[in-house]
């Protein structure tokens, strides 16, 4: 019986006799009854079956989860043949698109309902603007985005864009669907026209700017970014776009120059630390790191010098110091690290200052495996005593711990620390000397 039904369907689907119309309501009703019966009976069918016995294999072919019983699985379509569930599956699974609708007088609400059910449904009869708009509003009131988009595709095809835009301007839900649709199918031109019409200048500018992501060639990308500079961004964003252009321009110069240097093999830093990747399209901070790593000592006049980058992009002190510190520490250039924090006052005295807090400095140095001598100098500069003590203990800066305990007159802590240093070491001696000293008035 099922077979005959299938044949019948095939006949109608391929039929050229278009005069035929489904008696749709009846069809739906019978479908409904069948589904209902099927779902109810399926429940029993499903409940009886032991799902756990199914073999589970992932797409990589490995079994997942439970133990398996290979070969025990009977084809479901076979298993189904005697149960009413059979009729359920075909109904649910019947390609909805194959239902054809040749009727001409569906109302907007009927049309929208049919669209929602995934049926192919001609919209050609909605020719007056009023009909089109009614159709759209009906779709919007149904909340189904797929149907809203379907109607918009039709409207886009059959209305001039001025009229379409004008109608959508006061219908925001539909408008958002059109914008998303245009983005998805990549109709950039119409999208920009739409933003222009709506006077959404920021979105207009950003949509244009977004295109640069699709341009791989650095020169072409740079040229494209140049065209973005004059776009109606906010003042603040304009500056970002300008910076983006300038950055890529610089990177192109640096890249060409450094590739040459590296190939020539004359420069020590490139020989010792070959570049892992090109600097093109990297963020500014990464570029600064790169420049602090390879071009630290260059004069301000060159494009690749850190100072030049700092000035051009108005990089804040804090950011500059953090990045330079990380780069120089990575190269174990402790002398540069030292210089980074040394300032001279007007009398010529030197003093250590850091815009980022010395505890951060210590952490970064430690990450780059700085020796204890270097570490302890900076640990000593940490202002908060507790933090200082913690860091000193964590990074085994014995002298700092011992001196701090002495300054705090904390005998107990010093005593406790004694067990952490090596037996017979200089530190142990130092601790013992302090503990035996009669000069200190211990607080405990």
Check binding of 54 to other proteins (CB under 8 A).
yes
Using CB under 8 A, which residues numbered 239 to 258 contact other proteins?
Answer: 240-241, 243-244, 247
What count of Cα atoms within 13 Å lies in the side-chain half-sphere of residue 141? 11
Choice between 65 and 371, CB closer to other proteins: 65
Among 7, 27, 202, 432, binds other proteins (CB under 8 A): 202
Among 24, 144, 298, 399, binds other proteins (CB under 8 A): 144
Q: Shortest gap between Cβ of 441 and other proteins (angstroms)?
A: 36
The contact pattern for other proteins, residues 345-364, with x = CB under 8 A and - = no contact, is: -----------x---x----
Nearest to 148 by CA among 175, 127, 129, 167: 175
| Helix, strand or coil, per DSSP, at residue 118 | coil
The residue assigned the tokens 């904390």 is 410
Using CB under 8 A, which residues numbered 106 to 135 contact other proteins?
Answer: 113, 115-116, 118
Rounded Cα gap, residues 231 and 207, in angstroms = 11
Choice between 285 and 331, CB closer to other proteins: 285
What count of Cα atoms within 13 Å lies in the side-chain half-sphere of residue 163? 12
- Helix ranges restricted to H, 15-144: 24-48, 76-80, 85-93, 108-116, 129-142
Tokens representing 6? 């299938």
Check binding of 212 to other proteins (CB under 8 A).
yes
Q: Is 103 exposed, middle or buried (0-12, 13-18, 19+ CB in 10 A)?
A: middle
Q: Which stretch binds other proteins (CB under 8 A): 52-60, 250-258, 262-270, 383-391?
A: 52-60
| Helix, strand or coil, per DSSP, at residue 298 | coil
Choice between 89 and 440, CB closer to other proteins: 89
Q: Shortest gap between Cβ of 56 and other proteins (angstroms)?
A: 6
Q: Shortest gap between Cβ of 405 and other proteins (angstroms)?
A: 25
Check binding of 23 to other proteins (CB under 8 A).
no
Check binding of 51 to other proteins (CB under 8 A).
yes
Rounded Cα gap, residues 243 and 288, in angstroms = 14
Q: Are the C-beta atoms of 279 and 255 separated by less than 8 Å?
A: yes
Using CB under 8 A, which residues numbered 312 to 341 contact other proteins?
Answer: 313, 315-316, 318-319, 322
| Distances from the Cα of 349 to the Cα of 18, 37, 344, angstroms | 99, 94, 5
Check binding of 24 to other proteins (CB under 8 A).
no
Among 172, 227, 437, 444, binds other proteins (CB under 8 A): 172
Rounded Cα gap, residues 31 and 27, in angstroms = 6
Using CB under 8 A, which residues numbered 361 to 380 contact other proteins?
Answer: none
DSSP calls for 304-328: TSHHHHHHHTT--HHHHHHHHHHHH
Q: Shortest gap between Cβ of 93 and other proteins (angstroms)?
A: 4
Choice between 176 and 353, CB closer to other proteins: 176
Choice between 259 and 357, CB closer to other proteins: 357
Q: Shortest gap between Cβ of 5 and other proteins (angstroms)?
A: 14
The residue assigned the tokens 């709506």 is 198
């Amino acid at each position: 019986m099922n077979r005959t039904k299938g044949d019948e369907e095939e006949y109608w689907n391929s039929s050229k006799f278009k005069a035929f119309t489904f008696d749709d309501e009846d069809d739906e009703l019978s479908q409904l009854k069948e589904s209902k019966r099927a779902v109810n009976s399926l429940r029993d069918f499903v409940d009886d079956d032991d799902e756990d016995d199914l073999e589970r294999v992932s797409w990589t072919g490995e079994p997942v989860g439970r133990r398996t019983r290979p070969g025990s699985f009977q084809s479901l379509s076979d298993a189904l043949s005697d149960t009413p569930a059979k009729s359920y599956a075909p109904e649910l699974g019947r390609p909805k698109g194959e239902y054809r609708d040749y009727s001409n007088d569906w109302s907007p609400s009927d049309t929208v309902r049919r669209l929602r059910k995934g049926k192919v449904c001609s919209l050609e009869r909605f020719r007056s603007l009023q009909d089109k708009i009614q159709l759209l509003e009906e779709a919007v009131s149904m909340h189904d985005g797929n149907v809203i988009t379907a109607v918009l595709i039709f409207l886009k095809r059959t209305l001039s864009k001025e009229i379409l835009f004008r109608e959508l301007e006061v219908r925001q839900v539909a408008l958002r669907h059109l914008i998303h649709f245009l983005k998805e199918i990549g109709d950039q031109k119409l999208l920009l026209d739409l933003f222009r019409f709506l006077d959404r200048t920021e979105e207009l500018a950003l949509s244009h700017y977004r295109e640069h992501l699709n341009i791989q060639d650095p020169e072409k990308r740079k040229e494209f970014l140049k065209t973005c500079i004059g776009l109606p961004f906010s003042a603040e964003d304009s500056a970002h776009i300008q910076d983006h252009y300038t950055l890529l321009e610089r990177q192109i110069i640096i890249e060409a120059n450094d590739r040459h240097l590296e190939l020539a093999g004359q420069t020590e830093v490139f020989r010792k630390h070959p570049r892992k990747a090109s600097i093109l399209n990297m963020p500014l901070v990464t570029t600064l790191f790169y420049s602090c790593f390879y071009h630290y000592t260059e004069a301000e006049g060159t494009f690749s010098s850190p100072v030049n980058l700092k000035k051009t992009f108005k990089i804040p002190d804090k950011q500059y110091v953090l990045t330079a510190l990380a780069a120089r520490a990575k190269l174990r250039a402790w002398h540069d690290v030292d210089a980074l924090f040394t300032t001279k006052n007007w009398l010529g005295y030197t003093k250590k200052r850091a815009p980022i807090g010395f505890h951060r400095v210590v952490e970064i140095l430690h990450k780059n495996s700085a020796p204890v001598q270097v570490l302890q100098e900076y640990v000593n500069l940490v202002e908060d005593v507790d933090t200082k003590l913690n860091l000193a203990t964590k990074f085994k800066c014995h002298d700092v711990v011992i001196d701090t305990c002495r300054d705090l007159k904390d005998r107990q802590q010093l005593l406790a620390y004694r067990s952490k240093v090596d037996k017979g070491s200089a530190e142990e001696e130092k601790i013992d000397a302090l503990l035996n000293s009669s000069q200190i008035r211990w607080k405990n």
